[in-house]
Structure 1
Amino acid sequence: MRHTISVLVENKFGVLARVAGMFSGRGFNIDSLNVAPTHDAALSRITVVLKGDDSSLDLAIKQLRKLINVVEVTDFTKDQAVLRELLLVKVEADAKVRSEIMQICDIFRAKIVNVATHEVIIELTGDEGKVAAFLGLIEPFKVTELARTGQLALTR
């Protein structure tokens, strides 16, 4: 089962390594990992999406709470949180197909953030399903480069 965990930590050297090491030491496979400072420069939020069973996850959360520099740990379910992902994708787009790509972007409320002679860079924000659906429609236009943030989450 997939789980999204938010870990609020002190913004200090080595904290990320301890948190990620704790998950890998418990046999979890991390699907995505995001780390960034919060509005308080002394704190960072680590958002981890991982696969594992519920009982192992409960033990891992208890261990996380014991780690030095961990302030708060939250296990999100879909009802409790707003989950979003950012996607940047570079697509081949000559003059013949550019309008079709723009229509797909309009449908998904994606933004074209860079236009070159033979390619465009598109930015999309949304949940996992929206990102997957967009990629499915844009794939025939030859994706040349892609970057994703993985999920970010905040409680409602």
Structure 2
Amino acid sequence: MKQNRPVLEYRLWKGNETYTPLYFYEHIELEQILARRECEFFIKEGVTYKQVSSAKEDHLFVIYVEKYEENPPEPEDPASRGSLKLEIRELNSIKGHPLIESVYLDDHLDVLSYIGSSFTYFLNKEWERDSAELDEDRKVYVLYVTATGYEWESEED
């Protein structure tokens, strides 16, 4: 029995059970589809989309989105070439969502292990997940977090 490869389609949700196909990905691994589905936001060509739902139709995975905001596209991040870059950023729009740390990962399961977790630990602090995005323009995943207040001293200090 031949098994069909997974396919991903982003659809622009217009309400009242209507939508328009936006982007179609035929050559994509299941792990990448699952990581993308975990992201509440998706950026492509300067447009930020917010995920409203997702579905699976046989081998077709669908992510329904609505337009959230538009900005000029940002250039690709050269540091993300050859690996999967994940930025961990503090959810603080007043400060411009400061970067806490960047990690470079080998595959989308590694990405999913971060963005699918409720809590992560960086800089000797505990951070609670707020949301995640895939910025296709910059070729970067971003995890937005807030500090819980829990801190510990490193054994190396």
With the length of structure 1 as denominator, give the TM-score of the two structures: 0.28
Q: Choose between structure 1 and 2: higher helix proportion.
A: 1
Q: Choose between structure 1 and 2: higher strand proportion.
A: 2
**Greater relative contact order: 1 or 2 (C-alpha under 8 angstroms, separation 6 or more)?**
1
Larger Rg, first or second structure (1 or 2): 1
With the length of structure 2 as denominator, give the TM-score of the two structures: 0.28
